[in-house]
Structure 1
Amino acid sequence: MNLLDRTVDFTAALRRAGVPVSSAETVDAAAAIGALGWADRDAVREAFAATMCKRPLYRPAFDTLFDLYFPPRIGDGVNDPRAGDGGDAADGAPTDSEAPARDLTPEELDALRQALRADLLDALRDGDDETLRALARQAVGSFGAGLGSAGRSWFLYRVLRAMSAETLVADLLSALLGDAERGGLAERVARQTIADRIRAFEDMVAGEVRRRMAEERGIDAVERTAVKPLADQVEFLRASQRDLVDLRRQVYPLARRLATRLTARRRLGRAGRLDFRRTVRASLATGGVPVETKHRPHKPHKPELVVLCDVSGSVSSFAHFTLMLTHALREQFAKVRAFAFIDTTDEVSRFLRGLDLGDMMARISSEADLVWLDGHSDYGHAIEVFAERYPDAVGPRTSLLVLGDARNNYRPTSAPVFRQLCAQARHSYWLNPEPRGYWGSGDSATDVYANLVDEMVECRNVEQLQDFIERILPS
């Protein structure tokens, strides 16, 4: 396959991963490579990224697929003209540490592991990325041989277990801190630096594993599992802790965009209702003809927001993200009140006032009164407690948002109470993180609550949440 065909296949893979690449952008990429040439792989990567990646959101998928379709080396890098990239043995002579693991005795393999760990300690201490890449290749070649029918996760686990980079933290702290006092800012900075370097090394190992599996099984077989969903398409209910960190970065840009749109809509409506008296008075200067109308001052509507959020274990990731969004949207509303519930309800607005969102959910779990009986979701009782304890929370200027999957464990729904709350509110919406096809199945009470709110919306990821928020912007 020539490089042009590989570029076309790479473009198709980007589209399958959700990265929008047009035919014109593919032509632009080919033109850029025609000007730069293929000699410098990093330059090729950046040329493709500049022409094909419209948003930073697409870059992780782009980098993963680029490494699959344009690998830096073949096999162990032996006799590969591209092997000089990153310090490989370009002269065709493999290093001792790159010898296949199947040719080593257990004693020799253990000695090799100790040697590689010693080199890894030095590279992590110095932050030497080139050495870390070389060690990642050596580790995969030495401890990941004999893939057979094993999956990528097991293959990766076997290599990372052999290197055990996380067990080097104590030695790295001693090396980085020296005689500095423990427990202060210097130690926190050192720990964060070490964690970032270890994570980078693990990513290098994962990339090398993907490359070798693509050689053995074909790119198509690896591509389906190697590329993670785009950050705005990660499902809340399946989001990992690392996904939540990535999702958190999207909260404030989204809130700023909402603020811009709110400002634009208010500017379009500067003029209030017609002031008849002032219009007639002004017409006296033009012979009684009302050439210029006068209007009363316009008072932009700034609604109140009440969020009623299920924080039980089944939707905890969804609740985490939506509470962060609530925190970011506080300035867009006259009043924001947030309430959390499991089988009883408590107001958690006080936890949204701080700037540090990292421990928000932990404080809500430990300090808020959310469990009444057994700690299982009980929407009916939670709604009754909310209406009883906070009768003034929902009024004619209030937009009520309920966040949860409506799985009620076959308990009473308190539909009459909830109907009254929705009638009191200016708007009422329910964001459900479950796929629409699951609504009404099993212990789901969506068929009851969906008839009481203005709209129940499927909200499984950031993209759907953004679409919903832009629909309900106040005019």
Structure 2
Amino acid sequence: MQKVLGDFIHALRHAGLPISSAETLDALKAAQLVGIDNAPLLKHSLGMTLTKRLEHRLTYEQTFDQYFTSHNQFKEGYQEAPLQNATEGLEKHAQTEVDSLKQAPLNKPETNLNSPLAQQLMNNDMSAIQVMMTSAATASGAQDISFITQVPMVTYRVMQALGDTELQQELVALANSDESSATVQLLRQRRSQLQQQVRDYVEQQYLIFNQNEPNKLRESNLQKVNLTSIDHRNYKLMGELVRKAAKRLASMHSRRRRITKRGLLDVRRTIAANAAYDGFLFHTKWKSTRVDRPKVMVVCDVSGSVSEVARFLLLFLYCLQDVLPKVRSFVFSSDMAEVTQLFEQRDMDQALAEVMQKWANLPSDYGKALTDFEQIALADIDNRTTVIMLGDARNNNEDGNISVWEEVYRRSQRVIWLNPEGEFSWDSADSIMSKYAPFCSHVETCNSLQDLNRILGSVLKRAN
């Protein structure tokens, strides 16, 4: 049962449902409690443990029906078995249209057969064939098919794994004997039915495990596309991708790690722990290493020159603050404002709309913005603070107030500047990127979600 439910959860993840390891264990416990002889009850129980949102429910129900129908879990033939044997029937992965292969002729030809597959077909040993077919399909990559055109190739591999080559050779040998003509005809008929059954099973696996592949390809492409090139039709999907990226980053660098029984010996604690043993070191103590949650200040330029990118940068900033503690958020065109409480009190759409309405699409003035930042937050920056600037450093030929940014650099642990423009555009026209760059720990181009994942994932990882 664990194998079948594990594959089912794997199929749900392929369909786009986020399912954790803890939820997988809850689903296994639920299946053990309710049993598998009642399909509606099992469907409802697993749905309570594996779905979190209403929009996930429809996908779950479709995948459940498709998956367990493909394995024919709840056909009458399986309901006749006692409940304690239900798990065995579940693991056999029975396929539809099996009954057509169970019809044997009234006068069974008696011929000595050497091929194991031929013997199983002649004896209608469908249970063994079903188990072999399921194992062979998994080994042949039926769950990993990316295109429907791969189905014939995988079907061929499964048939070969079942022993089709030996069966074909035996059919050729028997074809020369008139006494074996009935046997040859029967075996060819059943081989044809088996091949169709294998193909149907492989197609079903493709539909179950790869129905979400086009969406995955689309998501992968969106992560690589420049933020300035994304149109309004993809805003909703991009928002989901940004949420996932922010959550991954927060999980990655807020996790606490401890070194146990390795690393550096803690002499003081070791001596104290063995004081009662006359100096004999029965118990060793090791130094622990933690990854602390850093203080993060994120400053986002929302002026007209980055208007096409600002929405996604703000979205990322909103999601990062939502999942990572100790984040303070600031936005500016010329005047700078802290929006930490705004992001905490409003939902995403309302918060972003208010920011874009009050502060966005105005001429940028980094000098004025940094003056405001000095008054609002400079005193709170210490050697545990990471400051991230999201902006293009285009200042409309105004004074950039470089001294304030230099002070930010001296006080903080690190300063990261992510510029949505390519490096070839830095210092062109009114850009003053080269004036800020000496006072940054990292300066990189960041114009796609993939860049955000890569840069922040590598830089925000802090070890003492």
Cα distance in 1 between the residues matched to 2:204 and 2:305: 40
Asked if 2 retains the 8 angstrom alpha-carbon contact of 1:282 and 1:292, the reply is yes
SS of 2:378's partner is: coil
Q: Does 1:438 align with 2:433?
A: no
Query: Deviation at 1:299?
Result: 6.0
Q: Which amino acid aligns with 2:406?
A: R
SS of 2:348's partner is: coil
Cα distance in 2 between the residues matched to 1:459 and 1:263: 23
SS of 1:409's partner is: coil
Q: Which amino acid aligns with 2:355?
A: I
Equivalent in the alignment of 2:257: 266
- Normalised by the size of structure 2, how large is the TM-score? 0.52
Asked if 1 retains the 8 angstrom alpha-carbon contact of 2:249 and 2:457, the reply is yes
Larger Rg: 2
Seen in structure 2, the aligned counterparts of structure 1 residues 346 and 262 have a Cα distance that, compared at 3 Å, is closer
Aligned partner of 1:419 among 406, 414, 422: 406
Residues paired across the two proteins, number? 278
Cα distance in 2 between the residues matched to 1:453 and 1:406: 13
Query: Deviation at 1:57?
Result: 2.5
Cα distance in 2 between the residues matched to 1:273 and 1:331: 36
Cα distance in 1 between the residues matched to 2:458 and 2:448: 16
Query: Deviation at 1:297?
Result: 7.2
Equivalent in the alignment of 2:34: none
Q: Does 1:309 align with 2:296?
A: no
Cα distance in 2 between the residues matched to 1:429 and 1:253: 22
Asked if 2 retains the 8 angstrom alpha-carbon contact of 1:433 and 1:458, the reply is yes
Per-residue CA deviations over 1:224-283 (Å, capped at 9, x if unaligned) read: xxxxx8110221123322332221111232233234433655245899986544321322
Seen in structure 2, the aligned counterparts of structure 1 residues 294 and 316 have a Cα distance that, compared at 3 Å, is same
Asked if 1 retains the 8 angstrom alpha-carbon contact of 2:227 and 2:447, the reply is yes
Equivalent in the alignment of 1:57: 216
Cα distance in 2 between the residues matched to 1:263 and 1:410: 40
Q: Does 1:410 align with 2:397?
A: yes
Q: Which amino acid aligns with 1:465?
A: L
Equivalent in the alignment of 2:312: 321
Aligned partner of 2:333 among 338, 342, 346: 342
Q: Which amino acid aligns with 1:470?
A: G
Cα distance in 1 between the residues matched to 2:403 and 2:389: 16
Seen in structure 2, the aligned counterparts of structure 1 residues 285 and 421 have a Cα distance that, compared at 3 Å, is same
Q: Does 1:358 align with 2:345?
A: no
SS of 2:329's partner is: strand
Equivalent in the alignment of 1:247: 238
RMSD value, Cα:
3.8
Cα distance in 2 between the residues matched to 1:308 and 1:398: 13
> For residues 19-30 of structure 1, what are the structure 2 equivalents within 5 Å?
28=150, 30=152
Q: Does 1:466 align with 2:453?
A: yes
Seen in structure 2, the aligned counterparts of structure 1 residues 269 and 315 have a Cα distance that, compared at 3 Å, is farther
Seen in structure 2, the aligned counterparts of structure 1 residues 270 and 251 have a Cα distance that, compared at 3 Å, is farther
Cα distance in 2 between the residues matched to 1:271 and 1:362: 51
Query: Deviation at 1:432?
Result: 0.8
Q: Which amino acid aligns with 1:452?
A: F
Cα distance in 1 between the residues matched to 2:247 and 2:342: 21
- Normalised by the size of structure 1, how large is the TM-score? 0.50
Seen in structure 2, the aligned counterparts of structure 1 residues 332 and 302 have a Cα distance that, compared at 3 Å, is farther
Q: Which amino acid aligns with 2:330?
A: F
Q: Does 1:383 align with 2:374?
A: no
Equivalent in the alignment of 1:172: none
Seen in structure 2, the aligned counterparts of structure 1 residues 319 and 296 have a Cα distance that, compared at 3 Å, is same
Per-residue CA deviations over 1:128-161 (Å, capped at 9, x if unaligned) read: xxxxxxxxxxxxxxxxxxxxxxxxxxxxxxxxxx
Equivalent in the alignment of 2:271: 280
Asked if 2 retains the 8 angstrom alpha-carbon contact of 1:308 and 1:339, the reply is yes
Seen in structure 2, the aligned counterparts of structure 1 residues 287 and 351 have a Cα distance that, compared at 3 Å, is same
Equivalent in the alignment of 1:429: 416
Seen in structure 2, the aligned counterparts of structure 1 residues 239 and 360 have a Cα distance that, compared at 3 Å, is farther
Sequence identity (%): 27
Seen in structure 2, the aligned counterparts of structure 1 residues 334 and 279 have a Cα distance that, compared at 3 Å, is same
